[in-house]
Amino acid sequence: MKNIITILFASIFLMSTANAGGMIGVKAGVGDLHGKRTSSVDAKGGASSASVDSEYGAVFAEVNLADNISVGLEVVPMSGIIDTKATTGTDSQVTVEDLKTLYFLASRDTDFGSVYGKIGYAHADLTVVANYGQTITNASDAAEGPMVGIGAQFSLPTPIIDTMRIEGTYTNFNELKITSDGDKRTGDADLTTLSISLARSF
């Protein structure tokens, strides 16, 4: 999936004219990743859902396709570890990295700046490791799914950084699966973020 995203974004850049405008920027914010177990073959109990909050940063680039419509790619160049409690008998951890989101953005000008909505598709790589002698025979190696977001954009009177955004997004990942010592589980996950971006338009 990440190769498809890279090819699509490169193709869009190549199709754009030399005079096409766009934007590059960085963003920082907080995210809430929520997971819920949807099925299990055993009756071992335990929490059926949990959430983890974390700060994050990302870089993004956009190309204008038409007035107030653009396509962009956002990359989180960091990894995060989700770890179960060490006291559990199936102590394990998941490393989440290379979160990429390909999206379309449509904006509307207002008296104070502009408001916009965005829709896209996100993909992250997953690596699962089990401790205490547990054996994982099958596990999802990626989390992917649709993303929607809304935000407001403002112009800044500075020569290099000329744009600021405030944004919220919601990503609903596809079903995740893991099999540990013959115990099969599935679950859903979603990510909610709130961020501030600084960018330069061109």
Tell me the domain boundaries of the chain: 2-201
CATH class of the 2-201 domain in this structure: mainly beta
The confidence score (pLDDT) of residue 17 equals 46
Which residue matches tokens 């160049």?
Answer: 77
Q: Over the stretch 159-193, which tens digit does the pLDDT of each residue have?
A: 889 999 999 999 999 888 777 666 777 888 899 99
- Residues in Cβ contact with 1 at an 8 Å cutoff, skipping those fewer than 6 apart: 123, 142, 144
pLDDT (average), residues 39-65: 77
Contact call for residues 120 and 1 (beta carbons, < 8 A): no
pLDDT (average), residues 5-28: 65
The confidence score (pLDDT) of residue 10 equals 55
The backbone region for 182, taken as left when phi is positive above 0, alpha when psi lies in -120 to 50, beta otherwise, is left
Give me the phi and psi of 10, to 5 degrees please: -65, -40
What average pLDDT does the structure give for the chain?
Answer: 81
- DSSP notation for 137-191: EEE-SEEEEEEEEEEEEEE-S-SS--EEEEEEEEEEEEEEEEEETTEEEEEEEEE
